[in-house]
Amino acid sequence: MKVLWFMVVSLFLMTACCNNETQEQKNIEIANISKATVKSTIGLLVSEHGDEVKENAQRGVNHAASLWRNVDGTEEEFKAFCQSNFIADNDLKAVSFEKISRNMEILRGHFNKISLDLQKPLHEPMGDIFDVDKAFGAYSAGSHMIEDMYRNKLAFTIALNFPYYSLTEKEKLGKDWTRQQWAYARLGDVFTARIPAEVLQNASEVGSASEMYIANYNIHMGHLTDGSNKRFFPEDMVLLSHWNLRDEIKSHYSRGEEGLASQAKVYEVMKRIIDQSIPKKVINNGDVEWDPVTNIVYKDGKAIEASPEGNERYQQIINNFHALKAMDEHTPLNTAVKRAFEGGMEITQKDAEALFVKFMSSKELKKVAVLIRTRLGRDLQPWDIWYDGFKARSSINAESLDAITQKRYPNAKAFDDDLASMLMKLGFSKDKSEFLAERIDVDPARGSGHAWGASMKGETAHLRTRIPEGGMDYKGYNIAVHEFGHNVEQTISLYDVDYYMLNGVPNTAFTEALAFIFQKRDLELLGINNKNPQKEALQTLDNFWSTYEIMGVSLLDQRMWLWLYDNPTATADQLKAAVQKMAIEIWNDYYAPVFGVKDQPILAIYSHMINSPIYLSNYAFGHLIQFQVEQYLMSADFASEVERLFRIGCITPNAWMQEGLKEDISIKSIIKEAGKAVKEVS
């Protein structure tokens, strides 16, 4: 799943907007509420309503003051605003909350529906896509909502009465909170910081530039040579770094010696990208030939001059760092690292690091490595972090599966008509199955498909799936069942959660867990018994090994950002040296003992480090959470537990795990299961 850069920014910077204010207005927006005014305002509220409102008044006035700007009014006006808008009475507060919540649902629900409808021509086969389709599809009707709420002062009413709680406060106080208090706190997350439009605009531009840089980083593999006219890959093969390069390595596992040589060649390319010795001429260019081993570029058979890319990869990271750092002084989470972890993932960076390090030190990794060595019949190579041989093959051949799904699902409507019966096969009651099926629409898709949930009750979730002329093939069916799992989560966590402000799940790992469990049961839904007895064990090992890989990469991403904050004036050259050093350190600490190879920089190849700042750890956590939820659901009364778990809603990840599974986010269960699986498969 690809995460767009702007989402990373807008997730926790709810003020995100690109507005058309004049330069003059922008320049005069400054925070103008003094500590003395905050203090006297609190004093005023306490003297008016009594000592029992003191704590709420303190938190609310402080929070509202942090968002107030001179354009909103003078200090006296702030004080008067707080006096007339502070809600001391709890019953009145509850009624106000319901009103605000209802209106938030109206706004978010309709904005979501507008986006869904405007993008329909891009997502569903509705004829040729014109530029107007693209322009409307890119338009975001809701992008000014937050800024409008500051202008009409609703943001301040909310901040004053439903203030923000930090992650630490939520986790500590949340243990004793009622559902209503959790819902109040989630409303408090809507207005947390007010970042100047020009700072946001700059971050968005810098982010787009990084997106473009990565989107155009193609390597013409058909033009790799060893200087003797030999080609190693098909003439027209063009691979985007790093995803396609990685997938190319994966695809060679079944090809013996020859495959190994191809993998080694791809790794040479990766190393040149990491250390930036890659010639500029070979990026996105198929007019020359290149030998990644000697680094010589050829044109018409003759070696030519070619300068290295230099530092561009690391300059992009520095640019992102400065753009995100500019937000620090405007938010309570005053570093980009805190915003990504405590704000976005709702897990602290320290907790994440501790868990990853512990996982990467587990002795089960060596056992799995021995198993991989045996299966490959050779020593491990650095790129075997992407070992792909734990995929369980189905005992039924692809053609007969295609025939079954094509017959059963000739079009989207056939799949739509079958939703309720599929849910009943999974154990949902007839009523619940029909309730859910009525709220999920299946649409034909242009691409591979997706699941798009509703944001207000009364609207449906959309399952987009691509169905070719002859009906749905098995691969498409398998993906559609995955998306169906997402839709079921989206529908339960919107319709069945008691407070709208708590709708949803804490983060994507929770919805992926359900999607993958649905996907795993795809054959069962077709009435087929997959007879591979090692299927579960293989899946566990596959998951375990990819968790290992992504944790190393995530740890490097974390350490790089901490290093940037320690060295805020670093040049791209210095960053390049530091990243390579840190990548090798992590390798030597946690991979060399398992692989038997030292000093490898491979963990630094991920493109996310450039175009999705501080996002990689989400995937690593996702693996753990998903595994735990899957394990739990596999032994539970499936349908009723799915309903119970997804009614919990969007509290913090740790609180959700405690409430749902009665355990913390942990590496224990995945390590334990991997230990068992190694024995089973060996």
- Quick check: 102 and 187 in contact, CB under 8 A? no
Tally DSSP H helices, then E strands, for the chain.
Answer: 32, 8
How many residues at the interface with Zn ion, by CB under 5 A?
A: 2
Cβ distance to Zn ion smaller for residue 515 or 650 = 515
Distance CA 13, CA 327 (A): 9
Minimum distance from CB of 486 to Zn ion (Å)? 6
Cβ distance to Zn ion smaller for residue 361 or 448 = 448
Minimum distance from CB of 628 to Zn ion (Å)? 17
Write the DSSP string, 527-551.
T-----TTHHHHHHHHHHHHHHHHH
Q: Pattern 465-504, binding to Zn ion, x per CB under 5 A? A: ----------------------------------------
Cβ distance to Zn ion smaller for residue 60 or 485 = 485
Q: Which window, 170-178, 280-288, 335-343, 507-515, contacts Zn ion (CB under 5 A)?
A: 507-515
Question: Would you count residue 505 as binding Zn ion (CB under 5 A)?
Answer: no
Q: Please list the alpha-helical segments (H only) found in 299-452.
A: 312-325, 336-338, 349-360, 364-376, 398-408, 412-425, 430-438
Minimum distance from CB of 351 to Zn ion (Å)? 25
First-to-last C-alpha distance (Å) of the chain: 32
Q: Which window, 21-29, 193-201, 338-346, 509-517, contacts Zn ion (CB under 5 A)?
A: 509-517
Compute the Cα dihedral for 16, 20, 21, 27 and give only its sign.
positive
**Residue nearest Zn ion (C-beta atom):** 515
Closest CA to 208 of 1, 507, 447, 8: 8
Question: Would you count residue 326 as binding Zn ion (CB under 5 A)?
Answer: no
Cβ distance to Zn ion smaller for residue 406 or 490 = 490
Applying the rule CB under 5 A, the residues between 411 and 440 that interact with Zn ion are: none
Cβ distance to Zn ion smaller for residue 4 or 135 = 4
Q: Which window, 16-24, 189-197, 198-206, 511-519, contacts Zn ion (CB under 5 A)?
A: 511-519
Write the DSSP string, 237-254.
-EEETTHHHHHHHHHTTT
Cβ distance to Zn ion smaller for residue 512 or 630 = 512
Distance CA 412, CA 300 (A): 52
Q: What angle is formed at CA 459 by the lines to CA 138 and CA 507, rounded to 5 degrees?
A: 70
Minimum distance from CB of 426 to Zn ion (Å)? 17
Minimum distance from CB of 508 to Zn ion (Å)? 8
Distances (CA, A) of 112 to 118, 240, 480: 10, 32, 22
Minimum distance from CB of 678 to Zn ion (Å)? 28
In a 3-state reduction of DSSP, which class is residue 276? coil
Closest CA to 652 of 165, 192, 190: 165
308 - beta bridge partners? 279
Cβ distance to Zn ion smaller for residue 291 or 512 = 512
Minimum distance from CB of 621 to Zn ion (Å)? 15
Q: Pattern 217-256, binding to Zn ion, x per CB under 5 A? A: ----------------------------------------
- Quick check: 518 and 553 in contact, CB under 8 A? no
Minimum distance from CB of 422 to Zn ion (Å)? 17
Distances (CA, A) of 611 to 8, 243, 276, 325, 573: 10, 13, 17, 16, 19
The residue whose two tokens read 């207000």 is 456
462 - beta bridge partners? 441, 452
Q: Which window, 168-176, 178-186, 280-288, 508-516, contacts Zn ion (CB under 5 A)?
A: 508-516
Compute the Cα dihedral for 555, 671, 339, 505 and give only its sign.
positive
Structure tokens of 442?
């299946």
Q: Which amino acid is at 1?
A: M
Q: Please provide residue 177's backbone torsions phi and psi, each rounded to the nearest 5 degrees.
A: -75, 150
Cβ distance to Zn ion smaller for residue 199 or 445 = 445
Q: What angle is formed at CA 48 by the lines to CA 42 and CA 52, rounded to 5 degrees?
A: 70
CA-based diameter of the chain, in Å? Answer: 88
Cβ distance to Zn ion smaller for residue 510 or 590 = 510
Minimum distance from CB of 249 to Zn ion (Å)? 23
Minimum distance from CB of 243 to Zn ion (Å)? 17
Q: Which window, 73-81, 96-104, 472-480, 515-523, contacts Zn ion (CB under 5 A)?
A: 515-523
Structure tokens of 311?
């530092």
Tell me 601's DSSP state: -
Cβ distance to Zn ion smaller for residue 276 or 511 = 511
Minimum distance from CB of 515 to Zn ion (Å)? 4
Distances (CA, A) of 106 to 111, 159, 216, 247, 488: 8, 20, 40, 43, 22
Cβ distance to Zn ion smaller for residue 362 or 487 = 487
Cβ distance to Zn ion smaller for residue 481 or 555 = 481
Minimum distance from CB of 1 to Zn ion (Å)? 6
Q: Which window, 40-48, 514-522, 581-589, 620-628, contacts Zn ion (CB under 5 A)?
A: 514-522
Minimum distance from CB of 256 to Zn ion (Å)? 34
Cβ distance to Zn ion smaller for residue 266 or 515 = 515
Minimum distance from CB of 482 to Zn ion (Å)? 6
Question: Would you count residue 515 as binding Zn ion (CB under 5 A)?
Answer: yes
Cβ distance to Zn ion smaller for residue 16 or 513 = 513
Distance CA 57, CA 63 (A): 10
Q: Which window, 383-391, 416-424, 495-503, 506-514, contacts Zn ion (CB under 5 A)?
A: 506-514
Distance CA 662, CA 499 (A): 22
Cβ distance to Zn ion smaller for residue 3 or 288 = 3
Other C-beta atoms closer than 10 Å to the C-beta of 77 total 11
- Quick check: 520 and 528 in contact, CB under 8 A? no
Minimum distance from CB of 510 to Zn ion (Å)? 11
List contacts with Zn ion (CB under 5 A). 512, 515
